[in-house]
């Protein structure tokens, strides 16, 4: 895979799948823009990845003003975005009754509003140029039922349909919209006790990142619409 000359904007790039995706694009020659709310963590990631990190942009994707400012900085300092990976995400492991309004609002803002805002920012230029890839990192929880995940699952199912409808709208434009549904992946989104018990059974962030890069590097006439990944042994 060769992404030389491409600009890839990765949200949630400080940890987990987002960081692994950033590593993959850097290795493939892309100029990578890193975003997350934690600027200090982003700086650490940028030091690890080296000079191919084009820009470090702390950004809260739930805030329209911050997303707009981040996108304008990318255009002014790097160029137009060729690949957007919406990786920023949040969850709570609580039953419906134990989930409060603050949980609901936070997860909707991060998992649904954030990708909406970032996609709105990059899409006009992609449509004008007739190319680009938008990756929505959803979850297997959008497709299968799990306890203590009602709010999280609702946001990820909403993200799936947001992407599906957008894909229908832009299908003939040359812009790719790709849904990714990872199963259990060993990232900090899981409580430490779960990672200690089940980490060896989970996929790695790099496993998911490899699938994303493969989809984004597909031949011009090919679109991977939905990518579903599960650990070899199945769900936890």
Catalytic residue positions, numbered: 152
Total Cβ atoms within 10 A of residue 87 = 31
User: Are the C-beta atoms of residues 88 and 36 closer than 8 Å to each other?
Assistant: yes
The C-alpha atoms of residue 193 and residue 142 are separated, in whole angstroms, by 24
| CB-neighbour burial class of residue 74 (10 A; exposed 0-12, middle 13-18, buried 19+) | buried
Burial group, residue 77, by CB count within 10 angstroms (0-12, 13-18, 19+): exposed
Mark residue 110 as left, alpha or beta (left: phi above 0; alpha: psi -120 to 50; beta: remaining).
alpha
């Amino acid at each position: 895979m060769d992404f030389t000359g491409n600009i890839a904007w990765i949200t949630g790039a400080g940890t987990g799948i987002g960081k692994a995706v950033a590593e993959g694009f850097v290795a493939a020659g892309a100029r990578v823009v890193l975003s997350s709310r934690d600027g200090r963590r982003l700086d650490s990631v940028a030091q690890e990845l080296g000079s191919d990190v084009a820009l470090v942009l702390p950004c809260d994707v739930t805030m329209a003003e911050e997303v707009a400012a981040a996108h304008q900085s990318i255009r002014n300092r790097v160029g137009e975005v060729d690949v957007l990976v919406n990786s920023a995400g949040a969850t709570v492991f609580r039953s419906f009754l134990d989930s409060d309004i603050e949980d609901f609002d936070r997860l909707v803002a991060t998992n649904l509003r954030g990708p909406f805002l970032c996609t709105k920012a990059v899409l006009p230029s992609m449509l004008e140029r007739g190319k680009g890839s938008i990756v929505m990192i959803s979850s297997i929880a959008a497709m299968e039922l799990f306890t203590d995940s009602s709010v999280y699952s609702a946001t990820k199912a909403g993200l799936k349909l947001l992407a599906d409808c957008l894909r229908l709208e832009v299908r003939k434009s040359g812009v790719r919209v790709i849904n990714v549904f990872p199963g259990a992946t060993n990232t900090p989104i899981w409580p430490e006790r779960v990672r200690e018990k089940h980490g060896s059974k989970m996929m790695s962030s790099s496993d998911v990142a490899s699938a994303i890069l493969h989809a984004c590097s597909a031949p011009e006439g090919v679109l991977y619409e939905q990518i579903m990944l599960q650990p070899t042994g199945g769900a936890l």
